[in-house]
Amino acid sequence: MHAALLTRLPEAEWQDRERQHQDRVARFSGPYLDRRSRGAKHPVEDFLFTYYNQKPGQLLRWHPGAGVVLTGPAAEARAGWKYYLAEGDGVRVDVSRFAEERREVVDFARLILGRTASRPAQFGCFGLHEWAMAYRSSVNGVRHEYLELRLGAAGTDGVVESARLRCTHFDAFRFYTPEAAPLNELAPTRETQRDLEQPGCLHANMDLYKWAYKLTPLLPSEMIMDCFELSWRIRTMDMRASPYDLEAWGYPPIAIETAAGKAEYVRLQRGFAEESQALRVRLLHQVESALGPV
């Protein structure tokens, strides 16, 4: 990266940003790590730490992103960090090495983000993916074995059987029970993900966090946390609309088996779609700024 395009940060400034980031992460990671140490589970708040590959310690590590030189004695330790480069009296992200070694990830992230951003959002799924994962639970059990089904096994099956299943997201569809999978209008695969992902999907929007952390340390950690916090709020809605009874956990249901529940689901889904599209565009712009256009 040309020296004229680099931003230099004095030690006091970047360390303050680092502290702010770590405080921001700790609000979420602290309770999770405490629960894990006690063998406790949380159906909503554990998800981003258990479903995704980014661990709390990795999320706590602050990165300035491409094009920023960290100066001062404290920056020297980063010269040994992966994808960092010592240069003059500072340290920065080694964009060239990252682009070379992570080319496949970068290309796929750009493909998914770009194609998803270009499609119209669909709002007719009503969160039935979680119900399809619990279909015929009397035979298959449920993914969250420590939770009760709000309508019971038969009631849950009835909702699935009376609905149109139209999930477009492979990483939700792959958890359908064997009996539910044939009921879906589509049969998403990893290969067709690039053709089916659309911005109304809650899980596609939660995955903004995944694409962001996979581009670490190219992106600033503040942006990764923007994605994380959005995903956290989406997960809350996702589980409120699920077949599980989470009242005791402090989450009133979005009763998607009713007309009012469907309307509430779509209202919230539209709001998250708008937020996610804006963040998706920011991610693409950040990658383009760092690596250039496709």
Decide if pLDDT at 3 tops 70. Answer: no
Phi, psi of 84 (to 5 degrees): -115, 155
Per DSSP, 244 falls in state: B
The pLDDT mean for the chain works out to 95
Domain range annotation of the chain:
3-291
What does the pLDDT average to over 115-134? Answer: 96
Residue 294's pLDDT band, with cuts at 50, 70 and 90, is low
Stated pTM of the model? 0.95
Amino acid 34: pLDDT? 97
Give the Cα separation of 114 and 168 in Å (integer): 17
Tens digit of each residue's pLDDT (9 = 90 or more) over 232-291: 999 999 999 999 999 999 999 999 999 999 999 999 999 999 999 999 999 999 999 999
Give the Cα separation of 186 and 168 in Å (integer): 7
What does the pLDDT average to over 153-160? Answer: 98
User: What crossing angle do the helices spanning 221-240 and 259-291 adopt, rounded to 10°?
Assistant: 160
Amino acid at 17: R
Task: Please enumerate in sequence order all residues whose Cβ is within 8 A of that of 38, keeping only pairs 6 or more positions apart, or say none.
Answer: none
Amino acid at 256: I
